Amino acid sequence: MKRSLIISALTCAIAPTAFASQLYFDARNDAMGGAGVASSDFVTAAFVNPALLGQGKTNYIGVILPAIPYSNDGHARYAPTSFGVQTDTSDAFLGALDNVKSAQDAYDNNTNLQTGAAYASALGQFDGQRMGINAGTSFAIALPSSALSVAFFGNSYMTSIATAKVSQNDIDLANTQNLGDLDSKVNLAGVAISDLGLALSMNWDADIAKVSIGISPKYQRIDTYSYNISLNDDGLSEFEDGFLDGLDKQSHFNLDAGIAIDFYDTFRVAISGRNMLKKNLEIETTAYKGINQADEKMIFTLAPLVTAGFALHHDYATLTAEMDLNDAIGFESNSKSRYARGGIEANLFDFLQLRAGIRHDLNDIRDDLYTLGFGISPMNLVHIDLAATLSKNGAYSVYQNGKVSDGGLNAANTTGDDAAYGIDGFVLQVSAKF
């Protein structure tokens, strides 16, 4: 059986998918290091800081759609226009998976003592490897005004952990050149959070400042899931058939809130609190850590995240920075992180925007994440924004020793200070303002 087919497919399914603490994607903010508490545009303010609804242009309507319908030979199709995908690689998951595929190809082509031992070794190194996967989409309709600003919004964000579960029996059979179908699997355990809410913001003008406060009450649906994907050819079809049956659905109400103070329409300070009602979610699975390691229970905490920041903003440039005031929890099996983010945007003739930024973990648990992006806004009506994130062991093209190559998967074999920087995620967003 061509087991390499399933491993290739699994690589494609996992690799193109961390702003895990944010629980949203926004191409402009993500290109600026993820900073947006003080600098978000009014059309995306509902996801970040609802107070910024009132700091935007008045007499405008802003719209973000997750997809645009079109016809293809008479059949309705939908082109995605607002989505983000990103990985958070740990312990060279992708490199170890690629090593399994290479060793497996050699074993299938010429089964002997050497290829069997190499295959067994690759499987053993893949065992227990772990990678984070994040994906999301959103929509919004925003109506800013000088008095009461309103936005109707929806956001869906999925965060998962993929863990390799290699069978000791597979390793033993590979060593004896008797391995047929694999018992080994990859476990996917995760949480999908979907918000549907109404953001409200009010302004007060003073001599030197404009003060805005905002709230976003929202209905929140939370799906937790766990599923084992077989590394055999039928693994993905089994996953598709059984995935929805594995969902555990919950729902409740939550709240975001924020405040922003704009001085002389140039300098802004702001603070926001998102998901102010804490919720612990226990996923019905035992996370696998390795053949010779103890298992663990998978728990995800949806906790309040309070962030403070500032922005220097002008028609031609924006400089912003922010800091989380508490730890982002997420999966309890992962270490807690608290981030500082910063970014810059240059606006050229209201047509082209160039952006860059950085995210730094104040707890020194995760490596720095660098961001790049651009926006195109013809006639300042349609806005097309794209962002990319770069980190060590990124899944795609890598930068190392002054060169750029396509060796992302192979580069993932190198960890620590010698690891290459690669693209590990991207965000696309199309919006309109009229």
Share of the chain above pLDDT 70, in %: 79
With bands split at pLDDT 50, 70 and 90, how would you rate the model's confidence at 430? very high
- Tell me how far apart the terminal alpha carbons of the chain are, to the nearest angstrom: 57
With bands split at pLDDT 50, 70 and 90, how would you rate the model's confidence at 19? very low
Using the predicted structure, report yes or no on whether residue 248 has a pLDDT greater than 80: no
Q: Among 80-84, 154-158, 292-296, 354-358, name the most confident range.
A: 354-358
pLDDT tens track for 113-133: 999 999 999 999 888 888 888
Which one, of 427, 384, 345, lies nearest residue 27 by Cα? 427
* Arithmetic mean of pLDDT, 276-281: 81
3-433 belongs to CATH 1.10.3470: no
Which one, of 331, 225, 212, lies nearest residue 270 by Cα? 212
pLDDT tens track for 173-212: 989 888 877 888 888 788 889 999 999 999 988 888 999 9
pLDDT tens track for 291-337: 666 666 777 778 889 999 999 998 899 999 999 999 877 776 556 78
Q: Residue 335, exposed/middle/buried by CB under 10 A (0-12, 13-18, 19+)?
A: middle
pLDDT tens track for 387-416: 998 877 665 555 445 454 544 444 444 545
Q: How many CB atoms lie within 10 A of CB 196?
A: 14
**How much is the pLDDT for 250?**
81
Regarding predicted confidence, which is higher, 290 or 208? Answer: 208
> Which residue's entry shows tokens 């010779």?
292
Q: Which pTM value belongs to this model?
A: 0.84
Using the predicted structure, report yes or no on whether residue 22 has a pLDDT greater than 50: yes
**Residue spans of beta strands (DSSP E) within 95-184:** 130-143, 148-165
**How much is the pLDDT for 92?**
66
**How much is the pLDDT for 410?**
43
Using the predicted structure, report yes or no on whether residue 29 has a pLDDT greater than 70: yes
**How much is the pLDDT for 409?**
45
Task: Record the tokens describing residue 65, joined without a space.
Answer: 């759609």
Number of H helices, E strands in the chain: 8, 22
Using the predicted structure, report yes or no on whether residue 106 has a pLDDT greater than 50: yes
pLDDT tens track for 2-15: 555 455 555 544 44
**How much is the pLDDT for 91?**
47
Using the predicted structure, report yes or no on whether residue 255 has a pLDDT greater than 90: yes
Which stretches within 325-414 are classed as H helix? 408-411
